[in-house]
A and B are shown apart, each in its own frame.
Chain A
Amino acid sequence: MCLTSSLLGVLVFVKRRSLLSEALSHAAYPGVAISVLLTSMFFAYSEELIALSVLVGASLSSLIGLYLIEKMKSWKVADDAAMTFVLSAFLGVGILLVSYLQQTKALWYQQIQLFLYGQIATMREGHVVIYLALALITLTFVTFFYHLLLSSSFDTTFSRSVGLPIRRLNFISFSLLVLSIVIGIRSVGVVLMSGMLIAPALAAKAWTASLSKMLLLAALFGLISAYFGALLSDGLPMNLPAGPLIVLVAGTIALISLILSPSNGALFRIARILKFRTDILRENILKLAWKNEGRTTTAKIRTLFPTSSLLLKLFLLKMAREGYIEKRGRAIVLTKDGERRAARVVRLHRLWEVYLFDVMGSSEERVHTSACEMEHIITPELEEELSSLLGHPKVDPHKQPIPQEEPL
């Protein structure tokens, strides 16, 4: 169940329609109620029969919900309002029907209530067989039509131009979405189903950008959360329902993935920002020491680049370790390495000033600030190009000499 919903979740995710699953899973509820109602009129009580009829009923009412949302969008209703309207109104209809059933057939009513939060513990073999079959169908579809789905998800115009049946594909993938919702609501429940669709997809997106890997990862995350959710529900003494636990595990996985993700994760972003900042600070200190030749002190650095004194001391120690500076009494003196590095920073600064002044036509007073930022960013290749473009100038617009490049 979680496997299929995770797979479909990815497809919905890349189409930026995640919240649709929320609307559709709620819209399935009146279908559940109606089908149980109808079954109760014509047949004797049987759980397998209920499971089957609910599949049909829930899919139908989900599809009707989907149709209404699309219809309302064509009537120029904003799609978020349309979705909210349909999901809450359908749930209302469902509750109305259920309240009718509650009095007339209490035993059947119990069965419907299961679908609200879901319950794994009461599932029988019959259920498992039905859901397994549906999961297999989805799986086959996704593997067979992988390329079609790929192109239609990311470039609708292109796929239409090569003659892919977009409408049919969309219809099929939405039907599959509905199907997976219908499979899922028995175990996770109507209210939490959309969590199962969104969380694994989001977690997978944090690790990879390729659709095939995303599908695999999402399926894996879905399986993990299903397994641990069920395990927790079984193992803990509190007798907790499995549905919310599964969603909770999936949500936690998604959050952790977002934090740790190598490409866009928060940790790595913060680390990158910090590294950039220390690089800038190091180069600024070098530049200062280079200009002031032997008269640079900690206090002087702090007036120009405000940092806490303890941090700065530590940082200076680190720079001494790296072999850029030496301490002589209170003053900070550059080593040979430090001097070369500092000269390069100053060179970049002044080259950029020349560039702004000569080529871009900026005024002399305004070039300094921009150069203070650019000096930390320019790569050696860019430096080479810049220098030859400007004809290897010797002085900057303020008539200061530009240090020449020294071979390392």
Chain B
Amino acid sequence: MNPYWNAHFFSFLVLFVKRLFLLITGQLPVSELAIDEVQIFAFALIGISCALVGTFLVVRKMTMLANSLSHTILIGIVMAFVLARPLFPQGDQTLNLPLLLLASFLTALVTTCLTEGLIRLFKVQEDAAIGLIFTTLFALGVIAVTLLTRNTHIGVEIIMGNAEALTWHDLKLLLWIFGANTTLYFLVGQRLKLISFDEGFSRSLGMSRNGATYLMMMQVAATAIGGFRAVGVVMILALFTAPILIARLVTYRLERLILMGSAIATVTALVSVALARHTLSCYQVALSTSGLFVTLLLVGYFTVHYGVLIQYGTKDVI
């Protein structure tokens, strides 16, 4: 029985705070989390991971490469799916963690290599190279999915995400990815910052620009793998960009961008799940929570933009 059944927006929030307190004090076991809570935690974890990676993507103008990767990851997921069947006949086929991560890293590597190869070897414009590689690979992925599963439903689910099917087991993976991204930020964040803003100087210190690119693509791949079950591979792009762009309206410092981006993602996660529950309780309409999440971010961006405009009367305060 879901404790949030028939809860309204505000009663949801109150109940959530109460249960969060119980969870922290250890009176509520993790396995008894309601689906709503799992969703909130999942979205927040993905959101923070995305903020950690996405900030650098935005400042290095690499979001389109991330976009490309989020499409090609479909092949990675299919690959993991294919490999999992003969290797682990009894196991849960969709959730084979090491394989999924391995496959995602491979796809990240292949996508980036192919795109860079097209640009360097064939002298193709960057945008066209990205566009060609990911659409072709994605088409391949869709065909593979159709061949393997006899329907395109899985494909649709990978793109759209299915937040309703999340369980607390998914949170473990997300925690790992969150941990890895945070550690990486503390380890190499300063270097990435230098490479993003002063490439010449960073090169003179012996830092590798390509190394940074590949590292970031790996992070994107891992985060996308973590997020595809919750929000789908396309909407995860919104999480990479939207919180950062909103934060960018009010600050320009990198550390604050990351912090505010994380905060925005967390709050939006809470609000969107509460709203989804609200519409279900009051209007008997079950909306896609992830869709709601992203829509709120879109609305949030323009609200903040015009908010800043009204407050300061100019758009060039920052």
Contact = CB atoms under 8 A, between A and B. Distances in A.
Interface of A: 13, 16-19, 21-22, 26, 75, 77-78, 80-81, 83-85, 87-100, 103-104, 113, 116-117, 191-192, 194-195, 197-199, 201-202, 238-241, 243-245, 247-248, 250-252, 254-255, 258-259, 264-266
Given A80-B64, A81-B58, A191 B238 contact: no
A322 B254 CA distance: 66
A26 B143 contact: no
Chain B's interface size range is 35 or more
Interface in B47-100: 58, 61-64, 66-67, 71
25 contacts: A21-B131, A75-B305, A77-B245, A80-B61, A80-B62, A81-B61, A84-B237, A84-B240, A91-B235, A92-B297, A92-B298, A96-B295, A98-B288, A99-B286, A104-B285, A113-B156, A192-B139, A194-B135, A199-B136, A247-B136, A248-B140, A250-B136, A254-B136, A255-B132, A259-B122
Nearest to B291: A96
A93 B290 CA distance: 9
Nearest to A91: B234
A256 to B, nearest CB: 12
Contacts of B131: 18-19, 21-22, 194-195, 197-198
B127 A241 contact: no
B146 interface: yes
A160 to B, nearest CB: 24
A228 to B, nearest CB: 13
B242 interface: yes
Contact of B64 (A84, A94, A247): A84
A114 B123 CA distance: 36
Given A83-B64, A194-B131, 14 more contacts: A18-B131, A19-B127, A89-B298, A93-B294, A95-B232, A96-B294, A195-B131, A199-B136, A241-B142, A241-B146, A241-B152, A243-B139, A244-B140, A254-B132
A21 B125 CA distance: 15
Nearest to B302: A68
A93 B291 contact: yes
A70 B290 CA distance: 26
B122 A258 contact: yes
A44 B293 CA distance: 32
B138 A258 contact: no
A265 B121 CA distance: 9
B7 interface: no
Contact of A92 (B136, B138, B291): B291
Main SS of chain B's interface residues? helix
Contact of A95 (B127, B160, B248, B315): B160
B62 to A, nearest CB: 8
Nearest to A117: B152
Contacts of B291: 92-99
A199 B138 CA distance: 13
B147 interface: yes
A26 B232 CA distance: 14
B290 A85 contact: no
B113 interface: no
A214 B238 CA distance: 35
A264 B235 contact: no
Given A202-B124, A202-B132, A251-B136, A84 B241 contact: yes
A95 B237 contact: no
- Tell me which of A89, A99, A194 has the highest count of chain B C-beta atoms within 10 A of its own C-beta: A89
A331 B4 CA distance: 94
B245 A202 contact: no
Given A83-B64, A85-B241, A199 B301 contact: no
Given A85-B238, A245-B139, A258-B122, A251 B132 contact: yes
B145 to A, nearest CB: 9
A259 B249 CA distance: 45
B292 interface: yes
B63 A84 contact: yes
A34 to B, nearest CB: 13
Contacts of A240: 143, 146-147
8 shortest interchain CB distances as A-B pairs: A92-B294, A195-B135, A251-B136, A96-B291, A99-B288, A88-B238, A88-B237, A95-B291
A84 B132 contact: no
Contact of B135 (A80, A90, A94, A247): A247
B124 A258 contact: yes
B238 A92 contact: yes
B159 interface: yes
Interface in B97-141: 118, 121-125, 127-128, 130-132, 135-136, 138-140
A204 to B, nearest CB: 11
A264 B122 contact: yes
Contacts of B244: 81
B245 A81 contact: yes
Contacts of B135: 192, 194-195, 198-199, 247, 251
A58 B305 CA distance: 26
Contact of A17 (B58, B127, B245, B285): B127
B155 interface: yes
A381 B303 CA distance: 69
A263 B294 CA distance: 45
- Tell me which of B62, B142, B160, B298 has the highest count of chain A C-beta atoms within 10 A of its own C-beta: B142
B28 interface: no
Contacts of B288: 95-96, 98-99
B61 A75 contact: no
Nearest to B123: A264
A202 B128 contact: yes
B274 to A, nearest CB: 15
